[in-house]
Amino acid sequence: MGGLSLNFLPVEVPGQMPAQWWDEVLGVAVYGGASPTGWPQYVPSVQLAMPPLAGASVACEVWRAHGPLIDGTLGGIRYRRNESVIFGCIELSEGEFAGQDAAESPSGLHRATRSIYERLFMLLDEMRYPGLLRVWNYLPDINLEADGSERYWQFNAGRQDAFIQCGRTTGGNVPAACALGSATGPVALYFIAAREAPLAIENPRQISAYHYPERYGPRSPTFARAGLSRPHGSPLLFVSGTASIVGHETRHHGDAIAQTVESLRNIEAVLAEARRHSVDARFGLQDLAYKVYVRNPDEFEVVQSAFEAHLACDAPVLYLQADVCRSDLLVEVEASAGHEVEYAL
């Protein structure tokens, strides 16, 4: 399965693992709480205030790869890598950027996001992993109006500024990504990159996010609907955060069940497009590992039922409570395939 693996585990489990298991851990995202003491300090980890809605009260997303692995820190990004892929994470407080360059941007979030991405690109250039495969972005109060605009718009502006400043394209072959709202905490990012650039996959049912009209913000989001790569020879697919959007418009306002089904229809369209681009990327819904973000916890059970009914198979799924990037979106679904999966929640 290409040498990369994903584990969804209760937070207690990694601490019970032998040292040999940690030797192949690239990095960890912890949802709903903090990393326990006793974890190896050389493993990058990020804590996110997004509680799981089923299973363990605190859950881990663990990415592993065959070694030998090399770890380090550059520009505040903690990373771990092998010859093919690199995992990294960073958390920055917006308060560090308060009052800086206020004439250019009144938003500390804008400046923090730009700094994070500039550091990310510096690391990838320095370590020679130019192929940014997947980025996970989390920030508090994503839908809040502050400093003259919505915070998600400020995030998009900061991200795009960094892409431009670092000589990266802002449309076409851009990475898969998501941006969700956490309950509290700093701006947090983690990523996986490779030696070669992925193939960006778009969804024929949707306008590419980087072509959204200005009604969704003065600066468009910089991500592809999915990314297809082969860092270890076999196809690896990352599906970006996917919601109930057709064209560029939100569908099924106020209906979490219908939004869940529409999100999965969009993922099916992305999978079909991946197959069209590559004959060996024959992934179906049953082949994916999922994270499902639910805005309102009291709607979790109906979302779960709709998700499982449409999927019609067992699949590893981590359900999380989070705010979605548009206030009228109730559900967002992301997925990946082409790697081994262990699910024990």
Q: Which residues are catalytic?
A: 332
Distance CA 116, CA 304 (A): 34
What angle do helix axes 256-277 and 300-311 make, rounded to 10 degrees? Answer: 40
Dig out the tokens for 17 from the structure: 């693992």
- By the 8 A CB rule, do 244 and 329 touch? yes
SS3 326: coil
Distance CA 29, CA 343 (A): 15
CA distances, 289 to each of 10, 89, 178, 314, 341 (Å): 16, 21, 15, 10, 7
Strands 236-242, 331-337: parallel, antiparallel or unpaired by DSSP?
antiparallel
Dig out the tokens for 131 from the structure: 């192929």
DSSP string, 190-207: EEEEESSPPEEE--TTB-
List phi, psi (to 5°) of 8. -105, 115
Return the closest-CA partner of residue 155 out of 112, 200, 103.
112
